[in-house]
Amino acid sequence: EAAVKGGFATFMDKEIHDQPQAVADTLLGRAGTDGRLQLDEMRIRESVLRTVDKIVVIACGTAAYAGHVAKYAIEHWCRIPVEVELAHEFRYRDPVVSEKTLVVAVSQSGETMDTIMAVRHAREQGAKVLAIVNTHGSTIARESDAVLYTHAGPEIAVASTKAFLAQITACYLLGLYLAQLRGNKFADEIAEDLAQLRAMPEKIQRVVDNEEHVRAVARSMKDEPTVLFLGRHVGFPVALEGALKLKELAYIHAEGFAAGELKHGPIALVEEGQPVFVIVPSPRGRDALHAKVISNIQEIRARGAHTMVIAEDGDEAVVPYADEIFRIPQTPTLLAPLVSVVPLQIFAAALATAKGLDVDQPRNLAKSVTVE
Ligand code: G6P
């Protein structure tokens, strides 16, 4: 077993370190250096993809957060409305889907029963289903109209890490493919976006290389009863995933919030010493997002929060308000989840290890939930 873990103490550690490769392999052969995007596996007719008027992402757990990231990217790039729904909610609602709806089912295993049932439900109503799955020949892959495989390799640890990054990457490819097909972007813009994507594995590697700082902070926090996570825009699903990882691995109460929602309730939770992770968007991005998040950090710090900030290299505006800073490389806003989630994965795994827990097989959880 030690050999299979590649010298790491746990599968999770190995899989966190596999992430640059998982993203690179998912891009391979698709994000061409010639600037064009090849998705030969898109077996849904181009005429159908051109007339799609709504996308609905269905998934469970971590895969659903990949869908949340996809919403921001695809709506921005393609101007197609994207809904993200937990598969078990989608199925038992009465969802409005038609032949013009593209349903995207995201799943590592391809065997999650809730997602399988939602795929069937969508197809019965005439929607086309594209699966983004990691496991070849799995049920969701077989039952969908087309499959865009993530190439993360086998994921053994119950809580998902590298499959998540690969799912986000596949969603970006889908968004850029639709933008290319539907003429939302010029060829040189697609080429630039693909170049940015191809730069991501090396950036993820840089974050993984800084793991010791994150681990040390995690060890010092092993007796914390609750940790909060704040993010805006694509940082919001990252906050949700950071909280989920901590619950799954370390059995610590954790909650993720949209930072803008703070003043509408969650700020009441903040008291002296409360640890709060804040995912800070790029200061080079648009829409004053960065300034808004800085003011959120000031608000919680003024109320005694212990602020743990994930911020870009060179972002000095965070320094006065951060008790800890975890640095990530400069990255276009929409692609940032691929780097900003990594410290949160490392944090959860290190904290669980410090508590003496089984990181690869947390209590009560299954890798693949094959019952409804
Ligand atoms: C389980 C796992 C999670 C995973 C979820 C969805 O709950 O513990 O890590 O995110 O299932 O699994 P899937 O295989 O559909 O991505």
Tokens of 236: 């919001």
Ligand 1: lining residues by beta carbon, under 6 Å:
60-63, 107-109, 112, 115, 158-160, 365, 367-369
Predicted confidence at residue 286, as pLDDT, reads: 75
Distance 367 CA to ligand 1 centre (A): 6
Question: Of the listed 5, 54, 292, 367, which one is catalytic?
Answer: 367
Q: Supply the pLDDT for residue 2.
A: 61
Atom index in ligand 1 nearest the CA of residue 60 equals 6
Name the residue with the closest Cα to ligand 1, atom 11: 368
**Low-confidence stretches of the chain (pLDDT beneath 50):** none
Q: Return the ligand 1 atom nearest residue 59 CA.
A: 15
Beginning with the edge strand found earlier in the chain, give each strand of the sheet holding 146-149 in spatial order: 82-86, 54-59, 101-107, 128-133, 146-149
231 CA distance to ligand 1 centroid (A)? 22
Residue 102, beta-bridge partner list: 55, 128
Ligand 1 centroid from CA 119, angstroms: 16
- Ligand 1 pocket test, candidate residues 62, 91, 162, 360, most atoms within 8 A of CB: 62
User: How far away, in angstroms, is 145 Cα from ligand 1 center?
Assistant: 22
**What is the Å distance from ligand 1's center to 23 Cα?**
19
Residue 309: the pLDDT is: 98
Give the count of beta carbons closer than 10 Å to the beta carbon of residue 328.
Answer: 25
Query: In testing the pocket of ligand 1, which one of 86, 108, 144, 147 has its CB within 8 Å of the most ligand atoms?
Result: 108
Query: Which residues neighbour 366 within 8 Å (Cβ) at sequence distance 6 or greater?
Result: 158
* CA–CA dist 135, 243 (Å, integer): 26
Ligand 1 atom showing the smallest separation from residue 62 Cα = 10
Pairing relationship of beta strands 128-133 and 146-149 according to DSSP bridges: parallel
Residue 173 to residue 141: CA distance in whole angstroms: 18
Centre of ligand 1 from the C-alpha of residue 116, in Å: 13
367 is catalytic: yes
Give, for ligand 1, the residue of 58, 160, 249 to mutate: max count of ligand atoms closer than 8 Å to Cβ: 160
Question: What is d(CA 224, CA 238) in angstroms, rounded to the nearest whole number?
Answer: 21
Q: How many residues does the chain have?
A: 372
Can you point out the beta strands (E) in 182-313?
A: 226-231, 253-258, 275-279, 306-312
Which atom of ligand 1 is nearest the CA belonging to 167?
16
Whether 111 contacts 138, CB under 8 Å: yes
Give pLDDT, residue 38. Answer: 83
Q: What is the reported pLDDT for 3?
A: 63
- Please tell me the residue having the least CA distance from ligand 1 atom 2: 367
Q: What CA–CA distance (Å, rounded) separates 102 from 263? A: 36
Residue 94 pLDDT: 86
